[in-house]
Each structure stands twice: as structure tokens, then as C-alpha cells.
């Protein structure tokens, strides 16, 4: 249970990131492009460097493949459902930003669960791996909170609603740690599927939501944010 507090602090970094947007000025097109592109870069690094390799190490390629496909399918279904509800009234651009923010929140929450599980495993392994992993997760949770809050703010949500949503997202990391501690007592085979599920969900968000949303704001700053976000997490992994 000693892993719960670091996991909670790592999760709350998402809410801390949202405060950067909530306490600052309304983001411009370039700023939003960098934020969304940066979130895409961070998520891409998480998928390629962490989630997929970990899923293959803890399970079979078949289990990982099924998890990835189900993750993509789940967010695709949620995307279709939210699309059908957000364009009923009001300016389409406002509700498009709101839909993007909600989808990002769902995707981040899904991938925070296996992050929490990873923290549980790192602390169970002993040594200094647990604290280092919690710090690195906190580092990339900050830009995720920023990028979740930005489209929701553009979509007209109140500050307290955005902050409350990001606090809920933050709770998924310690929930994942609790789940990880439970699964470690049962069988490590469940871990591969959850990691792959998160990888699939994040892959869908990167391709169909984050990169197009950032590119529409500013193509140049979209790719700048993408590269910066990827390198940020890559360096965090190197320093672990």
C-alpha cells in the first residue's frame, strides 16, 4: 500500500496541468496547436516506448493485439456516440472542442489505469524504480492535463467543471495502482490486456483527434508540439 501516495500525486499532476490553462489567458491558435500536438507526442511516446513493449513482455502477441483492437474500437464507439450528441445546438466549433476534450479525458483515464498498475509493479519490484516511474508519469501527466483543459475551455465549459473533470481523471492512476496490487496477487496475465487496451485507445486519439485538431490550428506548430512532446517523454524514460 506504500505505492498509493506516490501514485495519487502522479495522478494529480493532470489536475495541476489543467490549472495552467484555467488560470491563464484564452489560448491562441498557435498555443492550442502546440498543446494538442504536444499531447499527441507524449501519447505516441507512451504507446511506442511503454505500453506496447510492456504488453508484449507480460503477455502474448495475440493478447496484445486483441487489447489494442478493443481499445481502438471502444474510443471509436464513444466518438460516434458523442458526435451524435454534441452538434444538436450551438456553434459547431464550440461543441467540436468540447467533444475533443471529453474524448481526451476518456482516453487519458483509460491509460492512467495501466500507469497505476505499472507503479504498483515497480514498487513491488523494490529498489528505486518505483519513485522514478511515479515522477516520470507525473511529468507527462502535466501536459495531458493542459491539453485536456484547453479544448474544454475553448468549448465554453466553466473553470470549476474543467477542474473537477481533471480531478476525476487524476483518481484513475491510484485506482490503477490498487488494481495492480490486486492483480499481482492473482496473476500477471491480466496486465498485458490492460496495457494493450490503453495503447489502442491512445492510438485512436492521436490519429483521429489530436493531430488533426492541432494541424487545423497551425500545421507548423502542430509538428513542433508533436516532436517536443515525444522528446519530453523520451528524455524522461532515459533519465529513469
pLDDT in tens, 44-86: 887 888 778 878 887 889 988 998 998 888 878 877 765 544 4
**Range from 113-117, 175-179, 195-199 that averages highest in pLDDT:** 175-179
Helix, strand counts (H, E) of the chain: 10, 0
Angle, helix 29-45 to helix 219-239, in steps of 10 degrees: 40
Domain positions in the chain are 4-239
For residue 163, what pLDDT is reported?
Answer: 93
Check: CB of residue 117 under 8 Å from CB of residue 176: yes
Condensed to tens digits (0 to 9), the pLDDT of residues 127-182 reads: 566 776 787 678 768 877 877 888 888 788 888 999 999 999 999 999 988 987 88
Amino acid at each position: 500500500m506504500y505505492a498509493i501516495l506516490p501514485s495519487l500525486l502522479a495522478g494529480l499532476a493532470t489536475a495541476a496541468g489543467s490549472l495552467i490553462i484555467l488560470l491563464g489567458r484564452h489560448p491562441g491558435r498557435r498555443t492550442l496547436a502546440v498543446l494538442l500536438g504536444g499531447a499527441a507526442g507524449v501519447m505516441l511516446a507512451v504507446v511506442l516506448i511503454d505500453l506496447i513493449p510492456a504488453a508484449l513482455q507480460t503477455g502474448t502477441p495475440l493478447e496484445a493485439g486483441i487489447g489494442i483492437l478493443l481499445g481502438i474500437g471502444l474510443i471509436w464507439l464513444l466518438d460516434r456516440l458523442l458526435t451524435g450528441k454534441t452538434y444538436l445546438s450551438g456553434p459547431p466549433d464550440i461543441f467540436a472542442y468540447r467533444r475533443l476534450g471529453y474524448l481526451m479525458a476518456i482516453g487519458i483515464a483509460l491509460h492512467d489505469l495501466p500507469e497505476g498498475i505499472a507503479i504498483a509493479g515497480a514498487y513491488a519490484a523494490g529498489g528505486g524504480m518505483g519513485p522514478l516511474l511515479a515522477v516520470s508519469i507525473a511529468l507527462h501527466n502535466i501536459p495531458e492535463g493542459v491539453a485536456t483543459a484547453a479544448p474544454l475551455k475553448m468549448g465554453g465549459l466553466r473553470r470549476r467543471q474543467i477542474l473537477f473533470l481533471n480531478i476525476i481523471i487524476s483518481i484513475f492512476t491510484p485506482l490503477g495502482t490498487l488494481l495492480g496490487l490486486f492483480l499481482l496477487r492473482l496473476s500477471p496475465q491480466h496486465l498485458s490486456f490492460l496495457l494493450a487496451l490503453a495503447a489502442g485507445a491512445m492510438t485512436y486519439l492521436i490519429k483521429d483527434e489530436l493531430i488533426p485538431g492541432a494541424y487545423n490550428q497551425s500545421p507548423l506548430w502542430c509538428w513542433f508540439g508533436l516532436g517536443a512532446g515525444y522528446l519530453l517523454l523520451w528524455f524522461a524514460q532515459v533519465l529513469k
